[in-house]
Amino acid sequence: MSPIFPCLVSVLAKYENQINVFSEFLEDLPDTDEPVWVLGECYNVKTEKTGLLSDVHSRLWFTYRKKFSPIGGTGPSSDTGWGCMLRCGQMILAQALVCSQLGRAWRWRAEGGQPEEYHRILHCFLDRKDSCYSVHQMAQMGVGEGKAVGEWYGSNTVASVVDSDITTACPHSQSQSRSDWRPLLLVIPLRLGINHINPVYIQALKECFKIPQSCGVLGGKPNLAYYFIGFVGEELIYLDPHTTQSAVESEAGSGVDDQSYHCLRSPRRMKITNLDPSVALGFFCKSEDDFDSWCNLIQQEMQMKRNLRMFELVENHPPHWPPFVPPTKPEVQTTGAEFIESSDKLFESEEEFEILNV
């Protein structure tokens, strides 16, 4: 046997997310004059294709993994077949963390040399029980919500956004400056139809990807979850978690072999009309000014100009609703727990990070 063959097999096993890269390019981005929107950024595919692909490739891509330590000690050692929504949830959270610590303009470089903050974020999602946002942690938290480990997850169904509740959850000191606001990841679960997405919501959904605070959309098809990051024409652009890769081993404090955490395939697309009506919208507001701007954009672009609203945006908590109780920070002893407890330990200039699922 040629000595080259085992080496080739090793390389393919290490970077198996790239095996189908050539066939994927057959389904390239369309040659169109229509703008391509990706998480608040607009591209011309004819003149800015390189920048567009760099943006898509820079998004952290979490997929099914195998050969990790059993969840709960005796549970599954792979999430293939049931963990796609958890992986999509990881992607939307990772995007918020990247925006918070590296900025929306940050781009990943395949040759390496990523900043320390990037590796610290990635460590939070490694497939082991002591990583803060690992599939192990998320699956165990699901048990507390009545979801057995290995059970498929879907989106919730209804939501509204209450301005006063968010300012309660992400307060700033009245005696100091607005910089005391905690960075906020706002997740809004919706149902936009019965069996299929109602066409009256399609334009409003597309507008979400134009908003600078956009962190993407969780959704997909029945029993298939995708992380949607943009659109072109009547097609949604998404990252697909349905690729099984081997778990990556890395010691705390060291760099991560990150090649398998970025999808270098041509962006996948799906007709909006094929979307399942259950979705969850994600928005990241680093400052209170960001949140105020988001509220204004929602009012102007999504509600005032459209016939049917996807959700309500109200200033005060309705008196007939149950009292709002801000979420409490869980007691965690995990790698990346600094993001929950106080990111001052991890990033000296940053505030605590608030996740609010309304």
Taking a C-beta distance cutoff of 8 angstroms, is the pair 155, 279 a contact? yes
H or E segment and range at residue 271: strand 268-271
The question of whether 127 is a catalytic residue gets the answer no
Q: What are phi and psi of 357, to 5 degrees?
A: -100, 110
Phi then psi dihedrals of residue 302, to 5 deg = -105, -30
Q: Say if residue 163 is exposed, middle or buried (CB neighbours under 10 Å; 0-12, 13-18, 19+).
A: middle
Helix (H, G, I), strand (E, B) or coil at 261: helix
- Residue 47, C-beta contacts closer than 8 angstroms, at least 6 positions apart: none
Q: Strand runs (DSSP E) across 20-165, as ranges?
A: 36-38, 41-43, 65-66, 160-162
| Active-site choice (84, 88, 208, 263) | 84
Instruction: Note if 257 is an active site residue.
Output: no
**Cβ atoms < 10 Å from Cβ of 206:** 18
Query: How many C-beta neighbours within 10 Å does residue 330 have?
Result: 13
User: Rounded to whole angstroms, how far apart are CA atoms 330 and 340?
Assistant: 8
Cα 141 to Cα 217, 241, 287, 326, distances in angstroms? 22, 20, 28, 18
Active site residue 124: no
> Taking Cα atoms as reference points, which of 356, 357, 312, 358 lies closest to residue 184?
356
Out of 79, 127, 240, 258, pick the active-site residue.
240
Q: Which of 57, 242, 262, 317 is catalytic?
A: 242
Gap between the Cα atoms of 338 and 347, Å rounded:
9
The structure tokens listed for 169 are: 């959850």
Cα–Cα distance between 356 and 358 in angstroms, integer?
6
Which residues participate in catalysis according to the annotation?
84, 240, 242
